[in-house]
Structures are given as structure tokens and as C-alpha cells.
Structure 1
Amino acid sequence: MRILHTSDWHLGQSFFGKSRRAEHQAFLDWLIEIIAKQQIDLLIVAGDIFDTGTPPSYARTLYNQFIVALQHVNCRLVIVAGNHDSVATLNESESLLACLNTHVVAAASDNLDKQVFCVDDRTGKAGAVICAVPFLRPRDMVLSEAGQSEQQKQQRLGDAIATHYQTLFEQAQTLAAQYSPALPIIMTGHLTTVGASTSDSVRDIYIGSLDAFNAHHFPAADYIALGHIHRMQKVAKTEHIRYSGSPIPLSFDELKQQKQLMLVEFDAAQTVISEIEIPTFQPLYYIKGDLASIKTELDNIDISGEQTIWLSVQVQAQDYLTDLQQRIIQLIDDRPIEVLQLTRQRNSQTKAIEQQHKETLAELDVQQVFDRRLASEHFEGEPEQQRLGRLQQLFSQVVNDVQSKEAE
């Protein structure tokens, strides 16, 4: 059984006023080619198929045309809703798409058969058991109770989600055991897990009720395909719990990570997980610095392609320039570059960090942020050096305490 895991397509997204229609069309065409070339049995989209609950008509067209095209390469499809998706929008075509080898799960259901089912491979033979878990809305999982603290609300929702996963997993085990050998069990999810690295385009979910789900509460499925986080990553240092990330950059701070699909191969002996790199369909660049360094970086951008380059510029300047936008336009001249985002330096501390290291906070881990902050202070003399040592010791203790709680 060969499975592709992807998520967070966000069809219909408006990117600083620009449509992503051409990018998404190019990605979907490329994806069909990959599925045919790799002989993929099942494609899983782990949430946020659309960017909003009321996607534009062209986004619905892309969605429907892709499902039709998928029939020509003999591949099954499982789609679960994300927090951006409308349950009603996905449900309106659920029955019709079921006739096209497509399972759509828009919400949790009391009928577990809607979320736990067997999927055949390309030959028509049973290949895997799917536990299709969409974004679990708090109102569907727990009833609000007066007088509860924020911590109690988080605990109740976390417990309810863990119970839901465990209930589905037990039914999946029963179904998988009916085959010889037993079928692999694949679960999905659309949520934030403890320790996941987010990006600017990720909108927080479970606000006011659950910050992040502890990955150790996932059942022992053979593979867990997650969505919501746009950076491809492993979860809780495991191989089999993965975020696939979005197929195209949904914000400029996602440019440093190569976009990928997860390829999961099951056979009688082992499970093999690998990545397939996704090409760039729309050139995006992010540059920062003073006007002189921005000019240098602009001169180094490859403009030989046919597409207009979308650019984000962050200007570091001591003086407040009233004609900043006009100056940037003059630097671009007649090159095929369009500035979609123009920002100034944020605050003094971030400015000091970025001027020295040319990094954004999104690129740094916790320890690096702390070290950069210490570097902006002066610790001269023995008393100050002792103070520095105490600060470093206290910081390490706090980080260790937090990591220990996350591991529980």
C-alpha cells in the first residue's frame, strides 16, 4: 500500500491581494503526475482543503476537477476538514464524491463507521484501515460548564480528544484484525501538538480552551497524518507522526523550508516513510536590510524566469523615511518584481538582533533568542559575570521544567 500524505492546500487563498489560483492549479497538475508515476494507492489530505468556509467558485472548481482527474490514475482519496473548512460546504458533495472513491469526513460523528473504514489498494484488495479524524471543534467534544478555570477547560477538551482517538482506534483494531495479515491503521488529525513549529500563516485554534494536544496521547497507529502546521516536521521525535506541511508557502516566513509530500509505504515486513520535494510554482523572495543592502540583494535575484517575482521587503533604517515605498520602487526599476509586503524595523530589541545576525525571530529557537538578548547587554566585572551566570542557570532550569511537562 502506497500512501501520499498532504494537507493545508488552502484553495482560494488571497495572498496580499494576489490570487493563488495559478499556483494551486500547477500543484494539482503536478500532484496527478506524481500519483501516476509513483503508483499511489491512497491520497490523504489532512485538513484545510479550502482557505475559508466560503471559498470562491474557482477554488471549488479546482477541488472538483482534481477529484475527477484522480479517477484516471486509479487512486483513492480521503479528505478531512480543517479549522478553515466549512462542515456544510464539505458535506454538500460528500455523497456524490463517495461514488468517485473519495471519503470526505467533515466532522466527528456518533456513527463511528463514518470515521473508521477500510480502503482498497489499486488492485481492489483491502490495503489499510483509516481513522479519519477532522478538526475537532470544542463545541462538538465537550459541553461548557460554569465556574471552570481555563486550565480545567483545557484539561477537559484534551481528555475528550484523547478519548475520541482511542475509541476510533479500538474500532480500527477490530476491523484490521479481520484480515490476514492484519491491515495497517492510519489516523489523521488537524490540530496543534505540543512542540510543533508554526509559521506566520498558521491561525491559532482551540483559543481559550486548548493550546496544544499532547502527542503522547495519540494511540499506537502505524502512521498518523497531521495537518494545520504548515512546516513539514516530525512530532515528539517519532517517525510515524508527521505534519506534511502546506504544498506552497502561505507566508513569507515559510520560504526557508522545502515543501514536501510524505510518502508512506506499507508491506508485510516494514513501513517506509520518505519525502517527495514539491517544486516552486511561484517565485517568492524575502529581503531585509538598509537601502544599500536591499539594492545589492535585488541585483542578485534571478529574474530569468517567465513569472513575476513576489517580494517582501523589511527596511532597517535609522531615520523615518516618508518616501520609503517610492525608493523601493526606484530600486526595482523595470524588473519583473512586485512588492507585496513592505515593512519597517519592528522594535529596538528585534532590531538589534536582526541587524547583527540578519535573522527573524521565527528562525530562532528559544535558546538562541535568549543568547541574542544577553548579547545586547554588558556584563563587565566580576559581579556582572556572576549575575550573567545566574541568569543562564535560571533560564536553563525554566526550559528544562517546560520540556519535562511537555513530555508528560
Structure 2
Amino acid sequence: MRILHTSDWHLGQHFMGKTRQAEHQQFMSWLIEQITLQSVDVVIIAGDVFDTGAPPSYARELYSSFIVAMHDTGATLVVLGGNHDSVATLGESKALLARLGTRVIPAVSEDAADQVLVLSQRDGQPGAVLCAIPFIRPRDVMHSVAGQSAQDKQLSLQEAIHQHYQACYAAAVAKRDELGGQLPIIATGHLTTVGASASESVREIYVGALEAFPTNAFPPADYIALGHIHRPQKVGGLEHIRYSGSPIPLSFDEATQTKEVLLVDLNANGLQSVTPLPVPCFQAMATARGTLADLTSALAKAAVGGTADTPAWVEVVITADDYLSDLQSRIEQIIVGLPVEILRIRRERANAAAHLQGSASETLDELSPDEVFGQRLAAEMLEELLQTQLQQRYRQIVSALQEDQP
């Protein structure tokens, strides 16, 4: 059986005043071609299909069009909810999409067996059993206990998520045995794991005080398809636990990454191979970094990949501390005739307080509350232990507020 593992599409993302509609459309067209060329049996989207809980109409239309195109390929689609996705939005058309061969798991079910799916090959024969686990919200698996410390809450949540995985895996084993006991078992997840490397566009998930789920707490599935981290990577160097990453760069620090989807081949003996399939770049993005004297060459380099019709999106980072009132006009003069469009200009400051102020004024919309609090702490002369305690207390308060929300 061949699975195509992808995640973190973020349909509807509004990036510094720019829509990603054209890129997503091109990616979907390319992906449909690959599904046919590579004889894919099942496509798994491991969370964050949409960028917000209320995606714009064009993003919903892209999603619907892709599902119709998927149906025409003969492959099955499995969609898992992520932390950016609305449970209601994903779930509203669940029954209808099932008629088109798309299985949608928007949220955790009370009965773990409801999250166990038998995945069929193109010939209709069972090829694998899937523990379809979406993003897990704290209220899905545990109840708050008055008086719990941040550490106790972290341990309780970690154990609750672990137990949910084990329950789903046990139900999958039972289903496999029912079908003859010769099928591989796959699991999914949308979370941060220990050792995963993120990027600036990833809003870290702190469920309670849980920063990262331990790799050894996953069940012994043959393959674990993860989402949430946008950088494609193995987890802990393990071949069978993978983040596919996002298919397009969602921030400037992702622009140099090779984006990919993963072709996963399995048989009755388990995982056979994982083959990265590089995704073409549909929109050139780059960071031009340096002093004002460096910018001419840096911007010329950043323009590579841009065209008159589709200019490269560029972030300019000035590394000098000198304030230049005419910086904008100087940059505009440099880029005359270059196929670039400047989306952001910012300065790197030498001290933490100035860096916090710059981030707040220039990129606050891209920072999570936890990142803002962390940068504010970094500006203070505090002992490391006290900083850690304050960070944990902050996450505990945020978690309590989130759990109180309907």
C-alpha cells in the first residue's frame, strides 16, 4: 500500500497583505498529478487544512475542488483536524464528503474505535489500519483538577494523551485481528514532539503546560504521520515518525527549505520505505540581510526566481543600528528594474529590549502570546530558574482561560 503524507496547508493564509490562493491552487493541481503518477492509494492530511477557523470562501472552494479531483483519481482522502482548524467547519460536511471517498476526523471521539479506519488499496482490498488522531484539545481527554501545579498538569495531560493513543492503537489491533492480522498499523497526530525543529510561522501549541509530547509515548505503529511543524523532518532520527512539513513556505525563514510530501510504502511486514517528493516552488521568497552597503548585492540575489509577472517576495533585514529616516526610499531606488516586491523592512537590534520593541511594532501579528511573553522576560535581568517558573505559570494561566472558553 502507498500512502501520501502531507499536512499544514493553511488554506486562506493572508501573508503580509498577500493571498496564497494561486500557490495553493498550483500545489493542488501538482498533487493531483502526483497521486496518479505515483499510484497513491490514500492521501493523509495531518491537520491545519485551513489557516483560520473561519476560512474565506475561496479557501473553502479550493478544499471542495480538491476533494472532487481526489475522487476522480480513485484514491482515498483522510483529513485530520489541526489546531488552526475549526471542528465545526471541518465536521459540517463530513457525511457528504464520505460519499466522495473522503474521511474527515475533525476532533477526538469519546469512543476510540470511531477513530480507527480501514484503509483500502485501489483494488478495494484492505491495505492498512489507521489510528486517525487529530489535534487533541485538553478538554477532549481530561478534566481540570483544582490546585494542580503546572508540573502536575503537564504530567496529567501527557498521560491523558498517551492513554488516548494507546486506546486507539488497541482498537486498531483488534480491527487488524478481525481482518486476519496481516495489515500494518498507521497513526497520525497534530502536535509538537520532543526534538522537533519549528519555524517562525508555527504558533507553538501549549496545551496546559505541555510543550512537547515524548516520542517514546507513541504506540508501536508501523508509521506515524505528524503535522503542525512546518519543517519536514524525522523525529528523533526515527524513520517511521515523520513531519511532512507544509507544502509552501508560510514564513520567510521557511523560504530556503525544500518543501515536500512523503510517499510511504507499507506491506504486511510493516514500513518498507519513505520517499520524499519535493514540491515545486510556486512563489519565490527571500530575505535580503545586511547593512545598507550590502543591500544592492543582497537584493539582486533575492530577486533570483522572480519574474515581471510574479516578482519575488522579499523581506529586508538591516543589521546596522543606525536609524535612517530615508531607508524606504533608498531601498526603492535599489530595486528599480528588479523583479521583487518588498513585503517587510525591519532592523536587527543589538539588545533584547530593543528587539522586543521592534518585534512588537513590526511583527506582532506573527507572534503567539507565549512568544511575546518570552521576549518580554528576556528583556529582564532575571535568574534562569525564575524565568522558567514565570513561563510555566504564564502557560498555566493561559491554559485555564482556554479551557473556560465554550
TM-score by length of 2: 0.84
303-312 or 78-87: which moved more? 303-312
What does residue range 74-89 of structure 1 map to in structure 2 within 5 Å? 74-89=74-89
Q: CA deviation at 1:94?
A: 0.3
Q: Is the 8 A contact 2:284 2:305 kept in 1?
A: no
Q: Deviations over 1:374-407 (max 9, x none)?
A: xxxxxxxxxxxxxxxxxxxxxxxxxxxxxxxxxx
Q: Which runs of 5+ in 1 are unaligned?
A: 352-408
Q: Is the 8 A contact 2:321 2:349 kept in 1?
A: no
* Partner residue in 1 for 2:4: 4
- Report matched runs for 1:5-404 at 5 Å: 5-180=5-180, 182-269=182-269, 271-300=272-301, 301-302=303-304, 305=307, 306-348=309-351
CA distance in 1 between counterparts of 2:312 and 2:42 reads 34
What's the offset of the Cα at 1:28?
0.3
Equivalent pair of 1:90/1:104 in contact (CA under 8 Å)? yes
Number of matched pairs = 351
Give the letter aligned to residue 175 of structure 1: K
Amino acid at match of 1:284: M
2:297 is matched by which residue type in structure 1? T
Look up the match of 2:371.
none
Give per-residue Cα distances to partners, 1:230-255, cap 9 Å, x unaligned.
00011122100000000000000112
- Indicate the SS of the match to 1:160: helix
Give a deviation string over 1:26-78, Cα, whole Å, max 9, x none. Answer: 00000000001001000000000000000000000000000000111111011
The residue number in structure 1 matching 2:363 is none
Per the TM alignment, residue 303 of structure 1 is displaced from its structure 2 partner at its CA by 5.7
Offset, 1:317 = 2.1
Could you tell me how far apart the structure 1 residues matched to 2:321 and 2:145 are? 53
**Deviation of 1:176 (Å):** 1.1
Shift of 1:112: 2.6
Query: Is 1:138–1:206's contact at 8 Å kept on the other side of the alignment?
Result: no
Structure 1 residue 268: deviation in Å?
A: 4.0
Task: Indicate the percent of aligned positions where both proteins have the same amino acid.
Answer: 53
Contact (CA 8 Å) 2:158, 2:213: kept in 1 or not? yes
Moved over 3 A (4+): 303-306, 348-351
Give the SS at the match of 1:136. Answer: coil
| Cα distance between partner residues in 1 of 2:210 and 2:186 | 24
Which structure 2 residue ranges, 5 or more long, are not aligned? 355-406
If you compute each CA radius of gyration, which structure gives the higher value, 1 or 2? 1
TM-score w.r.t. structure 1 length?
Answer: 0.83
Q: Indicate the SS of the match to 2:247.
A: coil
CA contact (8 A) 2:112 2:164 kept: no
2: CA distance between counterparts of 1:344 and 1:152? 41
Deviation per CA, 1:276-316: give whole Å up to 9, x if none.
00000001111100112110122233266341110011012
Instruction: State the superposition RMSD in angstroms.
Output: 1.6
Distance change in 2, residues 1:303/1:256 (3 Å): closer
In 1: Cα distance, 2:208 partner to 2:119 partner: 37
> d(CA) in 2 for partners of 1:104 and 1:225?
16
